[in-house]
Amino acid sequence: MDAILEIRRAYDLARCGDYEDAKAIYLQILERDPGHFDTLTELGRLAWETGDRTTSLVAFSLAVQHHPENKIAHVQLANFFTDDGAWVVDDCALAVARHHYAAAILLDPEFVDAHQGMAWVMMQLGHPNTDHWIKGFVGHAIKTRRYLGIGAGIPLILLVSARGGNVPVRHWIDERIFEVTVVYADFFDPAEPLPPHRLVVNAIGDSDFAYEALVSAEKIVQTTTSPVINDPSLVRLTGREENATRIGRLDGVVTPRIIRKKSLSDFEADPTLTFPLLLRSPGFHGGKKFVRLEKRSQLNAFTSELIDGDLFVIEYLDARGPDGFWRKYRVMAIDGNLYPLHLAISADWKVHYFSSPMAENPEHRAEEQKFLQDMTGVLGPIAMAALADIAATIALDFCGIDFALAQDGRVLLFEANATMVIVPADPDPIWDYRRPKLDQALSAARAMVLQRL
C-alpha cells in the first residue's frame, strides 16, 4: 500500500514537470523492492517520455527479468526497441522485439498489443503475417494514449497507418496538453463515429507505402468539422514519382527520373535503363532496402537487400562536392516557414545524419553550424527560392525537404514529404550548436498545433 501511494505521488509530480523528484521516488521504492513491477513500469515510461533512454531500457529489462510471466513486461520492452522516435529501427532491435512479442503471445495468444507489435516487426523483417494483423487490429482500430497533464486535456485524434509509414510526432504533440486518441485509418470504419476531438493530426506520411491508409484517412476527415493538420489528400500527392514530375517543373530544382517496377524481374526485363541507378523498396527509410547499381550485372549481389515487390528505379544524381564528400541538407517547412534542420556530410553516397561521421569531424560540424546559422547565405538565392516553391507546391502544414546543392546553385532534390522527424540532439556538448535550430523547429511545430484550435 505504501508503494502504491508513493507511485501515485511520483506520477503527480511528473505531471507537474518535477521529473527528477518523481524518478527519485521510484528509485527509493526499488531500493526496498528491486522487482516491484508497477514501479519499474512507471519509471520506464517516465524515463522514455523525458528522453532518458538508458534508464528506460534498464527499467523495462528489469521488469522482464523479475516477471518473465508478465505479458505486459514483454510488450513494454519490445515497444522500446521498435519505437525510437525516428524512422530507423535496425535488424538487431527488430530481433529483440520479435522475441518479446512472441513471449507475450505465448503467455496470452489473444493479447492485442503483442499482435499489433508483432505484425509490424514481421513486416519490417520481410515476413508479413496476416494472422497478426487480424488479431491486432480488426476491431481494435482505436487506442487511447496515456494523458500526462493536469486537469482536462484537449482531445486530439492522431491518424496513423497500422502498417507503418507514419511520421514520429511525439516530440511536437505534447501529451501534457493533449489527450491523444490514435485511430488506425486502414482498419477504421469511416461509417463509425470518431472519438471526441477538437483537432485531427494526420501522421500518415509515406504516400508510396501507406497509400491505401491515406485514402481511408481522407474518408475519415470528411466526417469531421474540426481542423486537420497535414490533410491526407495533400499527403497522398507526395509520392516519389509524383514529386519528381511536379517539383521537377519548378525553377531552380533538379529532380531524378523515377519509375516504379512491380518486381525485380520486371526491372531486369527493361532494356532501356541506364546506369548507374538507384533501387529502393517503398516503405523503408534510413538507407534500408536502398542500393546503387553501377551496372545491371550487379543486381544478383543486392537481391537480398531488397523486397521482391514494388521497386523504385531512380536516376542517380551525383551530389558529391569538389572535395569528394556527399552532402544532404534538410530544411523543414512548418506552417509556411522554412527552418534549417541539419547538414549531413559523408564519404558514402548514402547520406543520413545518424550514420554520417559528423561526430568525428569538427570541420564538417563547423560547416553544418554555418548552414544552421546562415541558411540563406550558404544556400544562395536560387536554392532559397526553389525551397520556398517546393514547400508551396506540397502545401503541407508539416513537411521536410532533403536535398543537395548543384554547382550552379540549384536544388538537387532527394525527397520532399511529411516523413521527416525532428530528433533532439544528443546531450554531448559538441552538439550544442545544433540545439537552437532544433528547438526552433520543434517550437514552431508545437505552436502550429495550438494555433489550429
CATH number at residue 160: 3.40.50
Question: Is the Cβ–Cβ distance between 308 and 263 less than 8 Å?
Answer: yes
Q: Is residue 248 part of a domain?
A: no
263: containing domain: 257-315
Q: Is residue 252 part of a domain?
A: no
167 and 82 inside one domain: no
Tell which of 130, 153, 170 closes a domain.
130
Checking if the pLDDT of 88 tops 80, the result is: no
Task: Tell me the pLDDT tens digit for each residue of 120-145.
Answer: 999 888 788 899 999 999 999 999 99
Q: Is residue 390 part of a domain?
A: yes
Q: Is residue 320 part of a domain?
A: no
Q: Order across the sheet with 178-184: list the strands.
A: 142-144, 178-184, 154-160, 199-202, 228-229
Q: What is the CATH number of the domain that holds 288?
A: 3.30.1490.20
Q: How many CA atoms lie within 13 A of 386 on its CB side?
A: 29
Q: Is residue 147 part of a domain?
A: yes
Q: What is the CATH number of the domain that holds 407?
A: 3.30.470
How far apart CA 299 and CA 294 sit, in angstroms, is 9
What pLDDT was estimated at residue 86? 45
Number of domains in the chain: 4
270 and 383 inside one domain: no
90 and 67 inside one domain: yes
Q: What is the CATH number of the domain that holds 26?
A: 1.25.40.10
C-alpha angle 231/393/453, rounded to 5°?
Answer: 35
Checking if the pLDDT of 84 tops 60, the result is: no
9 and 121 inside one domain: yes
**Do strands 154-160 and 199-202 pair parallel, antiparallel, or not at all (unpaired)?**
parallel
Selection from 82-96, 115-129, 185-199 with the highest mean pLDDT:
185-199
CA dihedral (60, 61, 65, 66) positive or negative? negative
Q: Is residue 330 part of a domain?
A: yes
- Across the chain, mean pLDDT equals 93
**pLDDT-based confidence at residue 17 (cuts at 50, 70, 90):** confident
335 and 442 inside one domain: yes
Checking if the pLDDT of 119 tops 80, the result is: yes
300 and 343 inside one domain: no
282 and 214 inside one domain: no
The candidate with the shortest Cα–Cα distance to 418, out of 190, 205, 231, is: 205
Task: Tell me the pLDDT tens digit for each residue of 350-393.
Answer: 998 878 999 999 999 999 999 999 999 999 999 999 999 999 99
What pLDDT was estimated at residue 229? 98
More confident residue, 281 or 344: 344
φ/ψ (deg, to 5) at 327: -130, 140
Three-state SS for the chain is CHHHHHHHHHHHHHHCCCHHHHHHHHHHHHHHCCCCHHHHHHHHHHHHHCCCHHHHHHHHHHHHHHCCCCHHHHHHHHHHHHCCCCCCCCHHHHHHHHHHHHHHHHHCCCCHHHHHHHHHHHHHCCCCCHHHHHHHHCCCCEEECCCCCCCCCEEEEEEECCCCCECCCCCCCCCCCEEEEEEEHHHCCCCCCCCCCCEEEECECCCCCCHHHHHHHHHHHCCCCCCEECCHHHHCCCCHHHHHHHHHHCCCEECCCEEEECCHHHHHCCCCCCCCEEEECCCCCCCCCEEEECCHHHHHHHHHHCCCCCEEEEECCCCECCCCCEEEEEEEEECCEEEEEEEEEECCCCCCCCCCCCCCCHHHHHHHHHHHHCHHHHHHHHHHHHHHHHHHHHCCCEEEEEEEECCCCCEEEEEEECCCCCCCCCCCHHHCCCHHHHHHHHHHHHHHHHHCC
367 and 282 inside one domain: no
118 and 209 inside one domain: no
350 and 405 inside one domain: yes
Q: Is residue 304 part of a domain?
A: yes
**pLDDT-based confidence at residue 5 (cuts at 50, 70, 90):** very high
How far apart CA 403 and CA 247 sit, in angstroms, is 13
Full-model pTM: 0.91
Task: Tell me the pLDDT tens digit for each residue of 90-106.
Answer: 788 999 999 999 999 99
Task: Tell me the pLDDT tens digit for each residue of 271-314.
Answer: 888 899 999 988 777 777 899 999 888 888 888 788 778 899 99
74 and 149 inside one domain: no
